[in-house]
Structure 1
Amino acid sequence: MSGLERSILITGGSVRAFAAEYADRKYPKIQALVLNAGLQFPNGVTYTKDDVESTFAIKHVGQALLFHLLRQHLAEKASNVITASGTHDPAQKSGLPDAEYTTAEELAHPSAQSATNSGRQRYATSKLCNVMWTYALDKRLIAAAARGGERYTVNAFDLGLMPGTDLAREALAISPWKWKKVLPRMIPLLRRLVHPNIHSPEESGIALARLAVGEDVTGVSGVYFEGTKKINSSVESHVVGKQEDLWYWTVKHVARDGEELRTFDSF
């Protein structure tokens, strides 16, 4: 995960370089594509070298670009998994500020007012984008399959809170230490006292692998999973107008010319 995160922080061109190298090496078709990257930036708005707000760039824009570039390398019934989070849903009371989607353009280039939003709020909103983009892509895949075209699946996955990862490495000095060294030893207690959806990276990894390649989920698409369970995502994630705003802004932003735009938006 960290390698992809770092490359997007440098430039979206790094994603293109990876995709080009992948094509050059002539690997077998991709059976399962997992898009998983994310960081929190608690100390004010930061931007990538592509001039996109960093949380949104890492968690959504770079991942969407990678999907579009690797799409031609997907197997006939490839599984695509987008890692999201329960933090996108205010009803789950995760402790993060509520996600709030206005437009994709506002997330990419915050106004003076939205720039004052906390980094944790921007993180929750980026997770909402993951779920909305999953639904927007699934709708297009359903239409493509009906015409005899691509038959991929795509699902959103909440891996839960995972103490011990590098998620908090941009936080203040003491927070990463607690996150990396103390909280992983307290997972059973945290599940009882805080929230049941707290896991070790190993536990979440097993659930993620099952969703990506498990026989029992073959053909399942357009679903939000919390671990191994199908659950409802937030009310806002189902707003079609917001899904479409995100989809069209994204393809227009990541496409480098008209031909690529037509390719990215053709299903």
Structure 2
Amino acid sequence: MSSVSRSILITGGTSGLGFHAATAIARRCPDSDIVIASRKDPDKAADAINTKLGQRNVQFMPLDLGNSKNVRSFVNTWAEKKLSPISVLLLNAGLQFPGEVQYTADGLESTFGINHVGHALLFHLLQPYIAEEARIVVTASGTHDPAQKSGLPDAKYDTAEKLAHPPAATLKTDGRQHYSTSKLCNVLWSYALDRRLSSTNKKWTVVAFDPGLMPGTGLARDYGLIARFLWHKVLPALIPLLRRLLSPNVHTAEESGRNMTWVALDDRNTSGKYYEARKQIPSSKDSYDEKKQEDLWEWTVNYLAQNQQEKQKFEALS
């Protein structure tokens, strides 16, 4: 059993936004177990954070959100480690595939499967290990809101089933629309979860967080050579200009990591809210559509649960 009083879990914590949030949180919480979970940790991010801070409280655990068997294995390993209850759960990892549709190991459209379904399964399975009082932060994106004119194709939510298994007529849809729609799903799911939490005695809060545009992060890893060059080498140097020309919500990954830390640790009494950096703002019109929220929630639980008993646990948040 861990000797510390709480654990903090950050998915996608080995690079970009997640890495900087993990660093800031570890600095703030030296007596907590900080777990960063990603498919791989090629740069030994946990060791780098520990060395930088002169601490030993950050560890890496492998997690593939696109593979339900791996997510279940991750939770089994979590239980075996006997870590302290989770007081902060940052569902942060996300990928974007700009080309034609790709699929996860489970046969789901990859963006939807990784950005939403994998995180939902992780949350449901981790419920027994979440502390009595806990904060859940879901990394969303302003790209989910057509009114923000992000430059990505507008999010389009019809049904969760059509997002999971795109009909033949949509297979050549711009992959960036899959991404913006998956970010809409993050907000829809957060609101659906908040509504259910409000009818329980759990002291859990859940919010959606938009970190803003962060040039230089790994989100563009699957783009073409020129686009990757611009994203990694040119745009980071133009952040001050981009703030003036495009939006004030353009940040370095380190700045957004500090903002995420603030939302997770300093503003814990809010729930069912949407944050742009540290500011509460309205999310998209579609995100407040309870029919869409319920369609997503119900499809997700029905898809994820392996049997009726598990379905009841997922539905009851127990």
**Considering the TM-score relative to the shorter chain, is it more than 0.5?**
yes
Question: Residues 50-96 of structure 1, C-alpha deviation per residue, up to 9 Å, x if partnerless?
Answer: 00000001110001111111111111110000000110000111111
Counterpart code for 1:111:
P
Structure 1 residue 4 displacement after superposition: 3.1
Match of 1:156 among 201, 208, 212: 208
The count of aligned residue pairs is 261
Please say if residues 8 and 57 of structure 1, whose CA atoms lie closer than 8 Å, have aligned partners that are also in contact.
no
What's 2:312 paired with? 262
Greater RCO structure (CA 8 Å; 6+ sep) = 1
1:9: how far off?
A: 6.2
CA distance 1:52–1:5, change in 2 (3 Å):
farther
Give the deviation of 1:39 after TM superposition.
1.3
Task: Give the percent of matched residue pairs that are identical in Structure 1 and Structure 2.
Answer: 53
Q: Distance in 2 between matches of 1:199 and 1:261?
A: 40
Alignment partner, residue 112 of structure 2: 56
Pairing of 1:106-255 with structure 2 (within 5 A):
106-144=162-200, 149-214=201-266, 217-255=267-305
Equivalent residue, structure 1, for 2:19: none
CA deviations on 1:193-243 (whole Å, 9 max, x unpaired) are 1221110001100110111111xx232100000000000001100000000
Q: Residue 113 of structure 1 aligns to a residue in which SS?
A: helix
Q: Which amino acid aligns with 2:38?
A: L
- Where structure 1 has 5 or more consecutive residues not aligned to the other structure, the ranges are none
Residue 21 (str. 1) matches residue 77 (str. 2): yes
Q: Give, in angstroms, the shift of residue 123 of structure 1.
A: 0.4
Trace 1:93-104 onto structure 2 (pairs within 5 A): 93-104=149-160
Q: TM-score, normalised by structure 2?
A: 0.80
Once residues 193 and 134 of structure 1 are traced to their aligned partners in structure 2, the CA distance between those partners, rounded to angstroms, is 31
Alignment partner, residue 34 of structure 1: 90
Say whether the 8 Å CA contact 1:33–1:79 is kept in structure 2.
yes
Letter in 2 for 1:226: E
Q: Which has the larger share of helix?
A: 1
Supply the distance in 1 between the matched residues of 2:261 and 2:241 (Cα, whole angstroms).
26
